[in-house]
Chains A and B, each alone.
Chain A
């Protein structure tokens, strides 16, 4: 065992020293030259990819939101249009109905008036006819009476006739 480790330090301490030094130099060199910039760049790139993906996702969500919003707006507009149309129709119907009723009322009023007028005219005409008829009858009666009184005999006969009639009553 003694022989195994004899001169171990003499022959190998140098190698251990140089190897340690070399490895430490390599470590520091690569840390400064390579690992920091490389890992930094990879990290940076990964982050930018991640953020790009996230923003794409956001854009997609935004798009979906906008689409749904558009749809909602469209729906609302459509509903509003329907409402307006409906209102207009109602208004139209109402106006028509109103016009109809007022026309009817006016018509019936006018008819009523016409009827009254006609009645008035008719009455006036009838009254005229009556006056004419009475004056004509009086004239006729006068003429007849005149003629009758020209002949006394005839008069006596008539009075006796009349008297006869009275007796019967």
Chain B
């Protein structure tokens, strides 16, 4: 085992601990928000505040008069970075998204605008549903959560993040089919236009990520690494755009990063060769250390993609939280005079986030390549 490996795993462990801490803080705020919402907090007010917040982001229009209640930045921020069943467009206009529910009695489909931002319950074929904290619950006639029924309702809605994923997929397919057609048209010639922008990045993924980490078997994993890289990157970038086609926090959604890192886990372990498995199940230590070593190695198998999941989620969420906090300063101090300062800081953060967007895509892809590299490595340690 080389020194770099230890350093790397230390880094991973540190970031995992840090991310767990972040997650804990995050969940705490969610829990607090939940308890507050039971105290007759109208969701509408929050939405209005957030809408005026969004409006201020583009027009610098002070909308303090909307916030009759005390402005709660945590709530607003959490709502902005969380997934949602509707997509807020401008002012009081939101895009209603399809709600698909898989229940024990059958499948239900209706538009999320039926919930009227959580104000009203929707009476479906099988249950009555209500949007509480942007989560769908089955409720009884007095609008109380019916826990028994709710546990049979599985939410397969096309949420804001799912739609954002589709938009990013559409963009990626458009970009890359155009690039690939220009390869066909200009066969054997130097790249031109969009092609000359994309090609260095593809070469970067191949020569800086795949080849050094995987070795000569890199070609097999290139499609996956390229897809991951460009998918994460474009979603990071779209997340920075505050208006409609962007603004969804896809890569800052822990379930999205879970999906990506789970794919990494599967690819790494399905491609693991005998040396990889021997390293895990029969490490080069005295036999009486096996009861410790084997569980540690197995934890290592899971903790590596787990760290990937947390790293991407925490980095992107943190960026969004900082930007939104800076915007919230205007509303906390209730002063438009603070807006230039706020906007200047947000500009700085946005530029930084542009770098982070690339960096996180690079790190995720590179570590995936590294894990694949350790799994297909033929060297016997």
A contact set with B: CB distance below 8 Å:
3-4, 7, 9-20, 22-23, 25-27, 29-31, 33-39, 41-42, 44-45, 48
**Known contacts A18-B162, A29-B173, A7 near B223 by CB under 8 Å:** no
Which of B12-20, B60-68, B87-95, B180-188 is found at the contact surface with chain A?
B180-188
B37 is an interface residue with CB less than 8 A from chain A: no
Q: Which of chain B's residues have a CB closer than 8 A to the CB of A15?
A: 83, 155, 159, 161-162, 253, 255-256
Contact, CB under 8 Å: B227 / A14: no
Q: Is the interface of A mostly helix, strand, loop or mixed?
A: helix
Q: Which of chain B's residues have a CB closer than 8 A to the CB of A4?
A: 27
Closest to B181 in A: A37
Q: Which of chain B's residues have a CB closer than 8 A to the CB of A9?
A: 154
A34 CB contact (under 8 Å) in B162, B176, B203, B256 = B176
Inter-chain CA distance A35–B159, complex, in Å, is 29
B contact set with A: CB distance below 8 Å:
27, 31, 83, 100, 102, 135-136, 150-151, 153-159, 161-162, 165-166, 169, 172-173, 176-177, 179-180, 183-184, 187-188, 198-199, 202-203, 206, 219, 222-224, 226-227, 230-231, 253, 255-256, 258-260, 263
B179 CB contact (under 8 Å) in A14, A19, A38, A44 = A38
Q: Which of chain A's residues have a CB closer than 8 A to the CB of B224?
A: 27
Q: Which of chain B's residues have a CB closer than 8 A to the CB of A31?
A: 223, 227
Contact, CB under 8 Å: A11 / B136: yes
Contact, CB under 8 Å: A38 / B176: yes
Inter-chain CA distance A76–B84, complex, in Å, is 90
Inter-chain CA distance A33–B170, complex, in Å, is 13
Q: Which of chain B's residues have a CB closer than 8 A to the CB of A7?
A: 135, 150-151
Contact, CB under 8 Å: B172 / A30: yes
Inter-chain CA distance A41–B202, complex, in Å, is 12
Contact, CB under 8 Å: B169 / A14: no
Contact, CB under 8 Å: A14 / B156: yes
**Known contacts A7-B135, A48-B188, A16 near B180 by CB under 8 Å:** no
Inter-chain CA distance A42–B203, complex, in Å, is 9
Q: In the complex, how many angstroms separate the beta carbon of A35 from the nearest chain B beta carbon?
A: 4
Inter-chain CA distance A31–B180, complex, in Å, is 11
10 A-B pairs with C-beta separation under 8 A: A7-B135, A15-B253, A16-B255, A18-B156, A18-B162, A19-B161, A23-B165, A23-B227, A34-B226, A37-B183
Q: In the complex, how many angstroms separate the beta carbon of B287 from the nearest chain A beta carbon?
A: 37
Contact, CB under 8 Å: A3 / B31: yes
Q: Which of chain B's residues have a CB closer than 8 A to the CB of A22?
A: 162, 165-166, 169
Contact, CB under 8 Å: B169 / A27: no
Inter-chain CA distance A19–B258, complex, in Å, is 10
Inter-chain CA distance A97–B198, complex, in Å, is 89
Contact, CB under 8 Å: B180 / A38: yes
B202 CB contact (under 8 Å) in A3, A26, A42 = A42
B223 CB contact (under 8 Å) in A10, A16, A19, A35 = A35
Further 4 A-B residue pairs, CB within 8 A, beyond A7-B150, A13-B154, A38-B179: A15-B155, A25-B169, A35-B222, A38-B202
Q: Which of chain A's residues have a CB closer than 8 A to the CB of B157?
A: 14
Inter-chain CA distance A51–B165, complex, in Å, is 42
A30 CB contact (under 8 Å) in B136, B184, B227, B258 = B227
